[in-house]
Amino acid sequence: MEANILPRPNLPYQGAVAAATPQPHSLNLIGVGFDGTACARKGAAAGPAAIRQVSEDIETYSPYLDRDVTEIRPFYDLGDLVVSRCGDAHRDWDSISAAFAVLAGAADPSARFLALGGEHSISCLFIERCLAQFPDLLLLHLDAHADLRDGYQGYHYSHAAAIRRCLDHFGPGHELAQFGIRSGTREEFHWMREHRTLHDELPGFLDYLRQIPSQRPIYLTLDLDYFDPAFLPGTGTPEAGGGDFHSFIEIVRALRGKKLVGSDVVELAPALDPTGNSEVFAAKVVRELILVSHGEDGYAR
């Protein structure tokens, strides 16, 4: 059975090599344009294509990391996982999940993924793979929302339940750390405080990141509504009071030299920002994650 992905994206992310299958010992970009459970404003299905297209218009050099995309080992763009749009989000999700199972089952364990969403529920596919691979995985969650509901509006794999679904697969050595959360139910905030997953202030969160052992595997899931809508309005559920690009760069710098084994950038809805600024913002976020996913020797960790 062949993996249900497009073998060659029409336009790969700038600097990426188009590939039909996940490449071992390498970073593999893949889009999942699904927004079937989006409960406020849809449009994240167009996120992967928008990020790729605008990447052609930004520099490959990051002045924040003093690194260039052209200086690292080759990384790959697999295109987009084909998303069924039958009108039933449950069936569409099952189709995506089955397609990813085929893709991941055929991939070498050393293949690393950077996923482009799509809504936040798609992150579960990639996080669950890493949880199964790494018994001591640290899941870093940057978001405006807690995403700890046990399903929402009838969807078990809702974007409002993304982290809760990942917790279903947690073992004793797994850990969750959340930052930027400023919206959720009383029960969600109670759970985060009880389990001490929520970091309230940037300086303390940065100190926490710097103390992570360099060989501990880390997965970073980034919902773009982490950022204040004054900076990035093109997302389905914007929340006032968020971070700016510079706070994100401080987080990326704290992750430099760490073992980032996977990441995703989700919830860009480009049509909701007619200025086009949000997709440029998102493409630069992806650039920084591509660079920090590679060690100083240029190899993906």
Instruction: Tell me the whole-structure pTM to 2 decimals.
Output: 0.94
Q: How far apart are CA 64 and CA 44, in angstroms?
A: 28
Beta strand 175-179 with 198-199 is: parallel
> What are the boundaries of each domain within the chain?
17-292
DSSP string for 193-228: HHTT-EE-SHHHHHHHHHTS-TTSEEEEEEEGGGB-
The fraction of the chain above a pLDDT of 70, given in percent, is 92
Q: Could you read off the pLDDT of 127-147 as tens digits, one per residue?
A: 999 999 999 999 999 999 999
* Cα Rg, the chain, nearest whole Å: 17
* Residue 47 CB neighbour total at 10 angstroms: 30
Backbone angles phi, psi at 179, to 5 degrees: -145, 145
Q: Which two tokens stand for residue 243?
A: 């971070």
pLDDT(149) > 80: yes
Q: By the 8 A CB rule, do 181 and 144 touch?
A: yes
Q: What is the pLDDT of residues 66-119, one digit of tens each?
A: 999 999 999 999 999 987 776 777 788 888 888 899 999 999 999 999 999 999
The pLDDT of 28-53, averaged and rounded, is: 88
The model's pLDDT over 212-241, given as tens digits with 9 standing for 90+, comes to 999 999 999 999 999 999 999 999 999 999
Domain 17-292 falls under CATH 3.40.50.150: no
10 confidence band (pLDDT: 50, 70, 90) = low
